[in-house]
Structure 1
Amino acid sequence: MSLAALQLAVRCRQCSGTLQLLRQTPHRQFHYSPTVLARREKKLPTLSKKQLAAKERKRAKKAPRSIYDSEKMTLSDAVEVLRAVEVASPNATYELVVKTEMGKGSTIPKGRFNLPRETKSQGKDRILVLAEGRQAEEAKKAGADIVGGLELVEGIISGRYQATMFLCSRSLIRPITPRLGRVLGPRGLMPSERRGTVTDDLAGYIRRLKGTSEWKGDKEGTIRQPIAKMHFPVSDVVKNVRYFLTVVKRATGNIRDPLADTNKKEAGQKPVNAISRVLLSTQQGPSIQISDA
């Protein structure tokens, strides 16, 4: 074989080897190591009620405290401080502010009260009663201003009959609801069993209303009420505040009302509207948070 033929043969072998290497498809090996398997999410253990309570207590201790915690005073001390500030205004008025949380399902708190020592003369309520027969006669004798049956509905809608409170017997509440609900409902005057303004004991309800005033919170659940005069003794101011707070706590579900009607039918248990802060203030004095409310 000649030298030229030998060189050609060597070149062909090199080319064929290179082509074979190019034709081979690369293979990549995948391995499942324990490190990769450890990345899977682990199921958290289910905690018992005691463990959850302990965890919540630890979280509460670590939570930042309110800046108002150090400014709290007892009710007696707050009254003394405000008396010192308003020393030149003996006719100034104490104002009590109760802030509630107003959670889901809570209604705007409202109710009636009669302070142990009134701050001013009470205004007279104008009561309209929707009843017939004997119940209507008893309501009129008890002091109702307007008494009648279904014939009063048109006058209420047109505004001819004005009143600050509307009462109704159980037998008439269904016939009047479709027409008066849209008129009295937005004003908070529509009779309802939940508030006790739909009852068969109309005369007894009217007698209980005499000498009482109505309190009501705003849309945010804040209740503001003049509670006493500056010239009242400290003991009288404390009595008024304690009494009003008890009334509010019963209305918001914070304490159970022992005088509640056990036969009263409710769709469900009334949710508790928790009280977050209680403040006492005057016109020129500061607003002091009460610690023993």
Structure 2
Amino acid sequence: MSATLRSFNLLCRQCSGALFALKSAPQRQFHTTRVILARQERKILSKAQLAAKAKKKALKARKNIYEHEKMKLDDAIAVLRAVEVASPNASYELVVKTDLKNGTTIPKGRYILPREAKTQSQDRILVFAEGRLAEEAKKAGADIVGGLELIDGIINGRHQATMFLCTRAFIRPITPKLGRVLGPRGLMPSERRGTVTDDIVGYIRKLKGTSEWKGDKAGTIRTPIAKMHFPVADVVKNVRYFLTVVKRATGNQRDPDAPVEKKETGPKPVTAITRVLLSSRQGPGIQISDF
């Protein structure tokens, strides 16, 4: 009937166009053959294949020209000073990468640079002590001082602190309850780090004017080490000093002031330092060869 109507020009232009479009519209074909279905299946890669794929992708990624080049410390400082010539207040950042193996304690410590590069943060100190030692801790500047009654407040978050100290008499009573709370945060008092001591006053005085450094879960340590306007000699002195602190904390260098290890405990495990890089805000990360 439509053909008859078209022959007599009884359909308008819009109706005839719509009728033609319906007749010529392509029909979707659904394929269910084995070949097509096999192409639609997602290939599952093994861990080794995924690692190889990630490595290949990382190699293709664009890297700076200093990625595989090592420089002496003086030369690296000169390059970064040239890059940051318009930013005299920019900071050098020192990055120390360590080979942190499973079960190894994350390295951390405190330091005071020969010439400070940043504003020192003030620690909030909590001390477990009683009697004369508690009174001395309060006079030395401790923020919270008390005994076992502080444990519940620490667990529920009522007592907040960035540094926890305790006398030798308190370490055993507090460990069962606070070990699982402060341990993962790296705040549990420890004889190895010197935070379990009867010389509370001496330790608090040592804390005043010092900064804390700490590696991340991958064992990477980052810290601002100097300002661009510092003389080169001051930058070198700061870098050498901080690397010495890290080497002693990771067992790569013996601290002459540290107590002699007991024979039954064995030597302190060594965490190897794999790379040392110096960088800036706009400059590249340059590997240091003479660390």
Residue 180 of structure 1: which of 139, 157, 178 is its match?
178
The equivalent residue for 1:75 is 73
SS in 2 for 1:194: coil
The equivalent residue for 2:289 is 291
Structure 1 residue runs without a partner (length 5+)? 1-66
SS in 1 for 2:224: strand
The equivalent residue for 2:250 is 252
What is the deviation of 1:69?
Answer: 9.5
Q: Percent identity among equivalent residues?
A: 79
Residue 192 of structure 1: which of 174, 184, 190 is its match?
190
Cα distance in structure 2, aligned partners of 1:284 and 1:185? 37
Contact 1:73 1:291 in 2 (8 A): yes
Letter in 1 for 2:86: A
Cα distance in structure 1, aligned partners of 2:117 and 2:275? 23
Deviations 1:57-107 (A, max 9, x none): xxxxxxxxxx98961111111101100011111111100011111135421
1:166 paired with 2:170, answer no
Change (3 A) 1:71 1:159: same
SS in 2 for 1:79: helix
What is the deviation of 1:182?
Answer: 1.6
Cα distance in structure 2, aligned partners of 1:146 and 1:226? 30
Letter in 1 for 2:202: G
Contact 1:253 1:273 in 2 (8 A): yes
Cα distance in structure 1, aligned partners of 2:263 and 2:224? 34
Cα distance in structure 2, aligned partners of 1:161 and 1:146? 8
What is the deviation of 1:192?
Answer: 1.3
Contact 1:117 1:240 in 2 (8 A): yes
Deviations 1:138-174 (A, max 9, x none): 1111111111111111111121111000001111111
Cα distance in structure 2, aligned partners of 1:98 and 1:269? 23
Cα distance in structure 2, aligned partners of 1:164 and 1:264? 30
What is the deviation of 1:230?
Answer: 0.8
Letter in 2 for 1:204: G
1:216 paired with 2:214, answer yes
Contact 2:261 2:267 in 1 (8 A): no
The equivalent residue for 2:147 is 149
* Aligned ranges 1:114-129 → 2 under 5 Å: 114-129=112-127
What is the deviation of 1:211?
Answer: 0.4
What is the deviation of 1:197?
Answer: 0.7
SS in 2 for 1:268: coil
The equivalent residue for 2:128 is 130
What is the deviation of 1:263?
Answer: 7.2
Letter in 2 for 1:227: I
**CA RMSD, 1 decimal:** 1.9
**Higher mean displacement: 104-113 or 216-225:** 104-113
Poorly superposed stretches of 4+, deviation over 2 Å: 67-70, 103-106, 261-269
Change (3 A) 1:180 1:116: same
Aligned residues: 227
Letter in 2 for 1:288: I
The equivalent residue for 1:29 is none
Contact 2:277 2:286 in 1 (8 A): yes
* Aligned ranges 1:37-116 → 2 under 5 Å: 71-116=69-114
SS in 2 for 1:174: helix
Contact 1:105 1:271 in 2 (8 A): no
Letter in 2 for 1:257: D
Structure 2 residue runs without a partner (length 5+)? 1-64
Deviations 1:184-207 (A, max 9, x none): 112111111121111111111111
Q: Which has the larger radius of gyration?
A: 1
Change (3 A) 1:97 1:222: same
Contact 2:66 2:286 in 1 (8 A): no
Letter in 2 for 1:252: T
Cα distance in structure 1, aligned partners of 2:264 and 2:248? 16
TM normalised by structure 2 equals 0.74
Contact 1:194 1:266 in 2 (8 A): no
The equivalent residue for 2:238 is 240
SS in 2 for 1:273: coil
The equivalent residue for 2:33 is none
